[in-house]
Amino acid sequence: MKPQYQLLKSLATFIMCIYLLNGCKKYNQDLTWKVNTNVYSSPVLLRFLNSDPAATDEPKNFAVTISGKDANKVVVGSGGVDFKAVNGLLPIALVGGIVPTPQNPVIFNVYADIPGYAPVSQAIILTDTNPQVRSVFAVSYSKPVKGTAALVNQTSLNSGVSSAVSMSTQTNTDMTERATVSIQEGTQMLDANGNAITSGTLQTKLIHFGTGTTSSLESFPGGLTAPDAIGKDGNPISGGVTFVTGGLLSIRMIAGGTEVKKFSKPLNVSMEVNSNVINPGTDQAVALGDSIPVWSLNEQTGQWKYESMGVVALDGNGKMSVQFQAAHLSCWNLDWWWSAFGSYQTCNNPLTVIVHADPAYCAGNFEVTLETKNNQYLGALHGTTLFNGFECTFINTPIIEQAKIVITNNSTGKVEVESVLFTPCSQGVIEVTIGVPPMPDIVTVNLNVFGKCRNLNAEALINGWFYFYLPGAGPLADRVLIYVQNGKATLKLLNGAGYTVETCYNFQDYLGTGNFNKNNFIFTPTVLGQYNLGATGVFNAATNTLDVNVQVQMFCEN
């Protein structure tokens, strides 16, 4: 039984991330103002999640960096460029007048260094102005997700100089490959500017991302779509690159509190390759002597760069592996690119995926993945909710004969649907249908939301996010995110539970509580203070609809 069917016995909570774009500031107190806050376009809610669906801890509060080609077009939901995640959530938008399209997308990179997790870096590509939720998955060093292996190691330095040290990740049930990083005798640790670090200790953190699980692929730093990758000739690759990976290694070193970025002698790196990986150049399982390009990722900018050509050979454990040298620190990826092998060839024809789904799929967390016929990852929309009529667009597609769309439930790992094979460059639109589970008891909810200044006669229509979830169900389980446009939104909810309503505005959270039923009801503020939230609900049995009027009471600046 899915957790959503247990809602009658559960306390459900939703978070509403709101922004009042004109802030209710400097109003004449003798007048009543109504402010339309539809100033910014393409609202996106970035949701940072622990990639392990069984995890009990989640990324909380931390700084986020927006970089890349169109970074100057991105603002936080309430305006400005002070990007901070609160409880793992960061609402952002594009400045007014920016209208992304598949032919002219907006592209930027999201980076965060979250305590306890490997740094996260993900390219965001926007092709329309529709509200979107983008999940960014972080891998914990203490409990890495299935399909990965982690190592945290402490060694000694002599004024920043290392002796010969070799460190290897360990294999496990879901990760059969091993990665080894070796420091040469007499290697001086250097910072990003090439200055010597004179520390006595070195902490090394490794995460090896394998190719055998969806959870590993969705957590890849940088993702496997590189819109502005640097090629062999040192120039950006026109049209970007779609990778097919043989594995990725995240390497991080800290000496005495200073990030190590360079070395006087390069590191020697060995990455084992899963024997089940299909070489797209031969359409056969990877074999000794095969060539795999080696790429590095600047996590803070999201820039992929071609480094060298690796050759598959046997390592000391008798396993197929690729060895290379790393003169600087970043993520290192073994990647073929989709092309006619020898040139980077993707077509500029977008592929739109349309999902037909039962209303029960309004909750949950899913991967919408473009894959080869051999089940190799080509690109994905990570960690999204689904609904009937859901659409997403891949702006560039590889020039190959056959591919498919696969939708996977992140909370269970189950493949919900797999499309027929098609030719990506000529398909244009592909439609998939998710099966119909038993129907829960649901009701249509019409939300009407507005802000009320407690100290001024001012009101504001609200643009922002509503977040519905079931406590104790895990970070990837049944959750619904709804965007309120000009104070209005319509959604379907399950009947019969008590809710806590939480608002987040200017990095603060405020609560209200009430019982949700097919009945009239009232939400009341949990704690009276500067920001209060209340609501009333009126049920119409004839139409099975519930009109919920939400008022956010706040202290506004004069």
Given a contact cutoff of 8 angstroms between Cβ atoms, the answer to whether 253 and 199 are in contact is no
Confidence (pLDDT) at 206:
95
**CB burial readout 50-77, b (16+ within 10 A) else e:** bbbbebeeebeebebbbbbbbbebbbbb
Instruction: Write out the two tokens for 294.
Output: 């080696």
Residue 424 has pLDDT above 60, yes or no: yes
Q: Which residue range(s) make up the domain with 381? A: 347-433
Q: Is residue 199 part of a domain?
A: yes
Q: Is residue 51 part of a domain?
A: yes
Same domain for 153 and 70, yes or no, is no
Confidence (pLDDT) at 223:
78
Same domain for 274 and 213, yes or no, is yes
Same domain for 176 and 199, yes or no, is yes
Half-sphere exposure of 30 (CA within 13 A, CB side): 0
Same domain for 261 and 304, yes or no, is yes
Residue 28 has pLDDT above 60, yes or no: no
Instruction: Write out the two tokens for 286.
Output: 């990877």
- Closest by CA to 365, choosing from 470, 275, 442, is 470
* Residues whose CB falls within 8 Å of the CB of residue 343, separated by 6 or more in sequence, listed in order: none
Given a contact cutoff of 8 angstroms between Cβ atoms, the answer to whether 230 and 306 are in contact is yes
Confidence (pLDDT) at 505:
58
Cα–Cα distance for residue pair 54/146, rounded to 1 Å? 10
**Interval 128-151 mean pLDDT:** 89
Give the chain's radius of gyration (CA, Å).
25
- The stretches of 26-181 forming alpha helices (DSSP H) are none
DSSP state of 236: B
Same domain for 322 and 374, yes or no, is no
Cα–Cα distance for residue pair 213/539, rounded to 1 Å? 45
Instruction: Write out the two tokens for 222.
Output: 């940088």
Confidence (pLDDT) at 340:
35
**Interval 10-37 mean pLDDT:** 36
Longest dimension (CA), the chain: 81
Q: Taking the CA atoms of 396, 119, 217 and 434 in sequence, report the sign of the dihedral they define.
A: negative
Instruction: Write out the two tokens for 342.
Output: 């020898």
pLDDT tens per residue across span 317-364 = 899 999 999 999 989 999 887 543 334 466 778 889 998 877 666 556
Higher-confidence residue of 146 and 398: namely 146
Q: What region, left, alpha or beta, does residue 53 occupy, with left being phi > 0 and alpha being psi -120 to 50 degrees?
A: alpha
- Closest by CA to 422, choosing from 479, 352, 480, is 352
Same domain for 301 and 359, yes or no, is no
Same domain for 269 and 409, yes or no, is no
Cα–Cα distance for residue pair 99/486, rounded to 1 Å? 18
Residue 527 has pLDDT above 90, yes or no: no
Helix H or strand E encompassing 49: strand 41-50
Q: Is residue 342 part of a domain?
A: no
Confidence (pLDDT) at 292:
93
Other beta carbons within 10 angstroms of residue 506's beta carbon come to 18
Please report, for residues 187, 210, 338, the alpha-carbon distance to residue 200 in angstroms, rounded to integers and kept in the order given. Answer: 13, 33, 45
Strand partners, 175: 172
Confidence (pLDDT) at 279:
86
- Number of independent structural domains in the chain: 3
**CB burial readout 215-247, b (16+ within 10 A) else e:** bbbbbbbbbbbbbbbbbeeeeebeebbbbbbbb
Q: Taking the CA atoms of 506, 509, 513 and 515 in sequence, report the sign of the dihedral they define.
A: positive
* Residues whose CB falls within 8 Å of the CB of residue 182, separated by 6 or more in sequence, listed in order: 164, 165, 166, 167, 267, 268, 269, 270
**Interval 88-97 mean pLDDT:** 87
DSSP state of 282: T
Residue 16 has pLDDT above 60, yes or no: no
Choose one of 282, 317, 337: the last residue of a domain: 337
Q: Is residue 143 part of a domain?
A: no
Cα–Cα distance for residue pair 112/115, rounded to 1 Å? 9
Give the pTM: 0.74
**Interval 383-412 mean pLDDT:** 82
Highest mean pLDDT among 85-99, 154-168, 299-313 belongs to: 154-168
Q: Is residue 15 part of a domain?
A: yes
Confidence (pLDDT) at 439:
60
Confidence (pLDDT) at 319:
93
Choice among 74-83, 203-212, 343-352, 416-425 with the minimum mean pLDDT: 343-352
DSSP state of 142: S
Could you tell me the CATH number of the domain that includes residue 358?
Answer: 2.60.40
Could you tell me the CATH number of the domain that includes residue 243?
Answer: 2.60.220
Residue 234 has pLDDT above 50, yes or no: yes
Q: In what order do the strands lie in the sheet with 351-356?
A: 390-394, 351-356, 429-433
What is the pLDDT of the chain when averaged over all its residues?
80
Higher-confidence residue of 13 and 41: namely 41
- What percent of the chain is modeled with pLDDT above 90? 31
Residue at 523: amino acid letter: F
Cα–Cα distance for residue pair 325/332, rounded to 1 Å? 10
pLDDT tens per residue across span 145-188 = 888 999 999 999 999 999 999 999 999 888 999 999 999 999 99
Confidence (pLDDT) at 474:
47
Strand partners, 352: 393, 429
pLDDT tens per residue across span 478-519 = 456 678 888 888 877 767 766 666 666 555 655 566 666 677
Place of tokens 């103002």: 33
Cα–Cα distance for residue pair 150/140, rounded to 1 Å? 9
Same domain for 210 and 319, yes or no, is yes
Same domain for 156 and 180, yes or no, is yes
Same domain for 356 and 451, yes or no, is no
Choose one of 302, 337, 372: the last residue of a domain: 337
Choose one of 433, 449, 467: the last residue of a domain: 433
Given a contact cutoff of 8 angstroms between Cβ atoms, the answer to whether 462 and 455 are in contact is no
Residue 221 has pLDDT above 70, yes or no: yes
Helix H or strand E encompassing 218: helix 214-218
Higher-confidence residue of 518 and 101: namely 101
Same domain for 120 and 172, yes or no, is no
Cα–Cα distance for residue pair 384/362, rounded to 1 Å? 10
Same domain for 311 and 371, yes or no, is no
- What percent of the chain is modeled with pLDDT above 70? 79
Q: Is residue 184 part of a domain?
A: yes
DSSP state of 4: G
Degrees (nearest 5) of the Cα angle 323, 296, 289?
30
DSSP state of 117: B
- Closest by CA to 14, choosing from 483, 418, 341, 439, is 483
Higher-confidence residue of 389 and 104: namely 104
The separation between CA 503 and the C-alpha centre of its own chain, rounded to angstroms, equals 22
